[in-house]
């Protein structure tokens, strides 16, 4: 029975249980699901990361945090930074640690210390190993301001951080062995979690304030196990070889110029790939009852004020002035679709209304963050807005999940979903959120989809499902997202007439599946190492006549292939056959066929299988049928 000494804890699977006040996070998770506790390095309490050793004193939502969660990953990186600081203070006793945050690809720690040397780092590595072997716990202590100032009296950087802690908030430190660092936490339970920490290097950092001392930055990356670190180090070499910027230049897919930073220039080969992707997506849209629209790239400021972009997104938008008015280049397609829905009276008979739009979108990404095709300023998404009634949400999401399954299977990409639920600050009624979250989770569960729940990570207007893929190098990427939106229809005053004759606001499902062509292609090129599946390859068949005598027959074959809508060409015979075969391999052409005396006489072709030395003999008719079929079915490999 609930009373003043118990609290109610809700877990990610919706289970709720009563616990005594003061229950330790670790114990609560153990009672809920021992197997999930094993992978937990910390926990999320009402959306805020906490130590497994912390205690709970109110009702709330509790979820384990693992290395797979961004917040969990960050905790492990930051704990690794502590371990580096512990090691450096041991090796260079006068070193003053400043701060050591997690980053997108690891962590760093900045020190106020004499210039470091490589042998300092060897010492740090040895000290780190000792600490990991000793399985030292990270212990949290809360101090008064005076105690903290005394403890860090020798370190002006930490004294400044202490002075920045808001009045009334506890000053906390973490002990690891004999090392103590000022820190809000949370941390992994012990250094046993830091077996896969790796120091990548060090450099001098010029301070922003010219009167401040130059700092020494040690950079690194952490994994929970040695094995995961080894995989990462191996993968890093392979990833460099597969970098889509290099592959894209070699295959002449796209290029960039300084005069348009972050704006891809698509070359003829690249346009073929983009069009094939579009065709693939449009076939699904036609079958699933979508219609396509096109809305302006620029809207006046007032439209974004209505949509909320002006308040929340303006700094990421390109703006332009005309006739004294401010226009914004659209960063998303939503406003245009809302205006289409509002353009005349709507009836429930028109729902679900599925509006797809492939328009260029513009977002102001800082120049330092631009990266090939995976972070650009102009891109096109496989975007759609679906206007539905509440009863229609479930079947729409179900259809979307089936499409996601088919789409990613086509590219042999593993995928999973992340359901992000109500954050601490949200718009609308809690009951509506509960219903929406329950619907999404029910569909995910019954569709047999691999998913996990991120409590409190939803947008402020609606819960969402993010789609994550894993490429052949094991790297995770977020591609698409499905968001249920109750707010934007209200902001635009959208209504439809229901069967009851009354006016109701529709719900909008914003969804993009592959994400943008740009980012998806960047990921795909690295996933396949440039060996695009035949249906996407700019050139599908290259015919190599052995000598000039075989050129007429080769041209005849290419004509037949082109008549079948295949992309084919003949090479000249200036270079040796062996050289031409190698070139075709470098150009990643899926089908390379050789025509010599024997083939011409017998009406056959010798097909070289991409990535192998093997050749297979086909009659010309068989070959045509074979290639057409592989391409039509969008088979992954020749």
Q: Which residues are catalytically annotated?
A: 334, 363, 381, 383, 385, 464, 510
List 12's β-bridge partners, or say none.
none
- Residue among 41, 85, 124, 334 that touches Zn ion (CB under 5 A): 334
Rule CB under 5 A: is residue 91 a binding residue for Zn ion? no
Q: Please report how close the Cβ of residue 93 comes to Zn ion at its closest, in angstroms.
A: 21
Distance between start and end Cα atoms, the chain: 65
By beta-carbon proximity to Zn ion, the closer residue of 334 and 592 is: 334
Tokens 């780190």 belong to residue: 128
By beta-carbon proximity to Zn ion, the closer residue of 28 and 84 is: 84
Query: 118: part of which helix (H) or strand (E)?
Result: helix 118-133
Helices and strands counted in the chain (H then E): 20, 36
Rule CB under 5 A: is residue 183 a binding residue for Zn ion? yes
Over the window 126 to 165, marking each residue x when it contacts Zn ion by CB under 5 A and - when it does not, the resulting string is ----------------------------------------
- Cβ-closest residue to Zn ion? 183
Q: Please report how close the Cβ of residue 32 comes to Zn ion at its closest, in angstroms.
A: 27
By beta-carbon proximity to Zn ion, the closer residue of 358 and 618 is: 358
By beta-carbon proximity to Zn ion, the closer residue of 385 and 567 is: 385
Which DSSP string corresponds to 171-193? Answer: EEEEEETTEEEE------SBGGG
The DSSP code for 376 is -
By beta-carbon proximity to Zn ion, the closer residue of 183 and 353 is: 183
Q: Please report how close the Cβ of residue 174 comes to Zn ion at its closest, in angstroms.
A: 6
- C-beta neighbour count of 346 within 10 angstroms: 18
Distance between CA atoms of 340 and 338, rounded to whole angstroms? 5
By CB under 5 A, which span of 154-162, 249-257, 327-335, 609-617 interacts with Zn ion? Answer: 327-335
By CB under 5 A, which span of 48-56, 87-95, 176-184, 321-329 interacts with Zn ion? Answer: 176-184
Q: How far is CA 186 from the centre of its chain?
A: 24
Instruction: List the one residue out of 91, 94, 98, 81 whose CA is nearest residue 207.
Output: 98
Instruction: List the one residue out of 512, 507, 511, 510 whose CA is nearest residue 388.
Output: 507
Distances from the Cα of 350 to the Cα of 138, 399, 417, 440, angstroms: 59, 18, 30, 23
Mention every residue, 6+ apart, whose C-beta is less than 8 A from residue 181. 82, 85, 86, 97, 173, 174
* Alpha-carbon torsion (328, 333, 338, 339), positive or negative: positive
By beta-carbon proximity to Zn ion, the closer residue of 385 and 620 is: 385
Q: Please report how close the Cβ of residue 39 comes to Zn ion at its closest, in angstroms.
A: 21
By CB under 5 A, which span of 63-71, 182-190, 340-348, 369-377 interacts with Zn ion? Answer: 182-190
By CB under 5 A, which span of 50-58, 331-339, 491-499, 617-625 interacts with Zn ion? Answer: 331-339
Which residues, numbered 261-290, are part of the site for Zn ion (CB under 5 A)?
none
Alpha-helical segments (H) within 449-576: 488-491, 517-527, 551-563
Binding residue count for Zn ion, defined by CB under 5 A:
3
The DSSP code for 635 is -
Q: Please report how close the Cβ of residue 560 comes to Zn ion at its closest, in angstroms.
A: 45
Residues 245 and 256: beta-carbon distance below 8 Å: no
By beta-carbon proximity to Zn ion, the closer residue of 510 and 620 is: 510
Which residues, numbered 466-525, are part of the site for Zn ion (CB under 5 A)?
510
By CB under 5 A, which span of 177-185, 191-199, 413-421, 493-501 interacts with Zn ion? Answer: 177-185
Q: Please report how close the Cβ of residue 383 comes to Zn ion at its closest, in angstroms.
A: 7
Q: Please report how close the Cβ of residue 354 comes to Zn ion at its closest, in angstroms.
A: 13
- C-beta neighbour count of 575 within 10 angstroms: 13
Distance between CA atoms of 371 and 106, rounded to whole angstroms? 18
Which residues of the chain form contacts with Zn ion (CB under 5 A)? Answer: 183, 334, 510
């Amino acid at each position: 029975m609930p009373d003043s000494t118990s609290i109610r804890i809700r877990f990610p699977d919706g289970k709720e249980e009563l616990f005594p006040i003061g229950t330790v996070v670790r114990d609560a998770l153990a009672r809920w699901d021992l197997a999930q506790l094993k992978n937990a390095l910390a926990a999320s309490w009402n959306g805020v990361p906490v130590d497994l050793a912390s205690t709970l004193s109110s009702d709330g939502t509790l979820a384990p945090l693992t290395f797979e969660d961004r917040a969990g990953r960050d905790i492990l990186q930051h704990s690794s930074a502590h371990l580096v600081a512990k090691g450096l203070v041991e090796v260079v006793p006068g070193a003053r640690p400043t701060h050591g945050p997690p980053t997108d690809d690891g962590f760093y720690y900045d020190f106020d210390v004499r210039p470091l040397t490589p042998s300092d780092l060897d010492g740090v590595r040895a000290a780190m190993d000792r600490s990991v072997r000793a399985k030292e716990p990270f212990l949290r202590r809360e101090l008064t301001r005076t105690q903290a100032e005394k403890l860090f009296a020798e370190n002006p950087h930490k004294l400044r951080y202490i002075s920045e802690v808001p009045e009334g908030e506890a000053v906390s430190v973490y002990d690891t062995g004999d090392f103590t660092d000022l820190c809000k936490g949370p941390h992994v339970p012990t250094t046993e979690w830091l077996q896969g920490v790796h120091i990548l290097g060090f450099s001098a950092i010029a301070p922003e304030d010219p009167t401040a001392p130059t700092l020494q930055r040690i950079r690194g990356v952490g994994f929970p196990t040695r094995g995961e670190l080894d995989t990462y180090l191996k993968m890093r070499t392979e990833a460099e070889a597969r970098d889509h910027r290099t592959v894209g230049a070699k295959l002449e897919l796209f290029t960039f110029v300084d005069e348009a930073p972050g704006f891809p220039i698509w070359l003829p080969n690249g346009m073929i790939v983009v069009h094939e992707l579009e065709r693939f997506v449009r076939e699904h849209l036609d079958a699933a009852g979508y219609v396509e629209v096109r809305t302006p790239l620029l809207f006046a400021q007032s439209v974004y004020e209505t949509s909320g972009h002006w308040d929340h997104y303006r700094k990421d938008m390109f703006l332009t002035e005309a006739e004294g008015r401010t226009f914004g280049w659209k960063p998303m397609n939503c406003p245009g679709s809302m205006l289409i829905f509002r353009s005349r009276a709507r009836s429930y008979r028109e729902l679900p209304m599925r509006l797809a739009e492939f328009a260029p979108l513009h977002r102001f990404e800082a120049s330092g963050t631009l990266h090939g095709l995976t972070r650009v300023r102009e891109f096109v998404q496989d975007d759609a807005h679906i206007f539905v009634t509440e009863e229609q949400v479930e079947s729409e999401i179900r259809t979307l999940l089936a499409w996601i399954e088919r789409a990613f299977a086509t590219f042999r990409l593993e995928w999973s979903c992340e359901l992000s639920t109500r954050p601490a600050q949200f718009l609308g009624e809690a009951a509506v959120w509960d219903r929406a979250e329950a619907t999404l989770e029910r569909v995910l569960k019954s569709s047999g989809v691999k998913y996990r729940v991120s409590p409190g990570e939803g947008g402020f207007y609606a819960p969402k499902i993010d789609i994550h893929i894993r490429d052949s190098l094991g790297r995770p990427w977020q591609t698409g997202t499905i968001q249920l939106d109750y707010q934007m229809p209200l902001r635009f005053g959208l209504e439809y007439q229901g069967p009851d004759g009354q006016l109701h606001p529709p719900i909008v499902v914003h969804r993009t599946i592959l994400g943008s062509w740009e980012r998806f292609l960047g990921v795909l090129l690295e996933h396949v190492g440039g060996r695009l599946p035949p249906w996407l390859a700019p050139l599908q068949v290259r015919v190599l006549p052995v000598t000039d005598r075989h050129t007429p027959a080769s041209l005849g074959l290419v004509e037949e292939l082109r008549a079948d809508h295949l992309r084919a060409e003949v090479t000249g015979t200036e270079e040796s056959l062996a050289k031409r075969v190698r070139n075709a391999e470098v150009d990643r052409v899926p089908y390379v066929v050789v025509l010599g005396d024997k083939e011409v006489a017998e009406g056959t072709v010798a097909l070289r299988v991409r990535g192998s030395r093997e050749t297979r003999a086909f009659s010309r008719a068989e070959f045509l049928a074979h290639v057409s079929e592989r391409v039509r079915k969008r088979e992954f490999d020749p």
